[in-house]
Amino acid sequence: MASVLVVDDHEAFLIFVKHGLSRHGYHSLVATSAKAALRLLETEPVEIAVIDVVMPDMDGIELLREIRDRHPSLPVIAMTGAGDGLRQPVATLLSVLGACAVLIKPFEPASLIRAIEDCRSAARAAPPAAQG
């Protein structure tokens, strides 16, 4: 069972995502802050991270950079509620920084599952040198 770390400062959203992941056979860990997520990544085996961009203590862009520095081969999916005019620039920035996928909130649970499966497949297919 793959372990997915989900990071979002809205607890109700975390419960919703955790339930959806469980229904599709994924084990999930949740964190309500970037700092808590970084602590979990040091102690728990995680196959993929799903992170929100807008959070109070450290935003998702900073978190993505930290994950890339500490865990370069960990696939990361970024989630954002960016407004219509910012969606493409934000998605482009997140991709450049190393997100394997970007989801625009609100999204259907099936979109998250598809993104997780695509990112996991891409990570398995990547040559070892590209992973880290």
Q: How far apart are CA 110 and CA 122, in angstroms?
A: 18
Reported confidence tier of residue 132, pLDDT bands at 50, 70, 90: very low
The pLDDT value recorded for residue 31 is: 97
Predicted pLDDT of residue 32: 96
Quick one: pLDDT at residue 89? 67
At 104 the pLDDT is 86
Give the residue-averaged pLDDT of 99-127. 89
pLDDT in tens, 21-61: 999 999 999 999 999 999 999 999 999 999 998 898 898 88
Q: Write phi, then psi, for 87 (nearest 5 degrees).
A: -55, -50
pLDDT single digits (tens) 63-85: 999 999 999 999 999 998 766 65
Residue keyed to tokens 């469980």: 22
Distance CA 104, CA 79 (A): 6
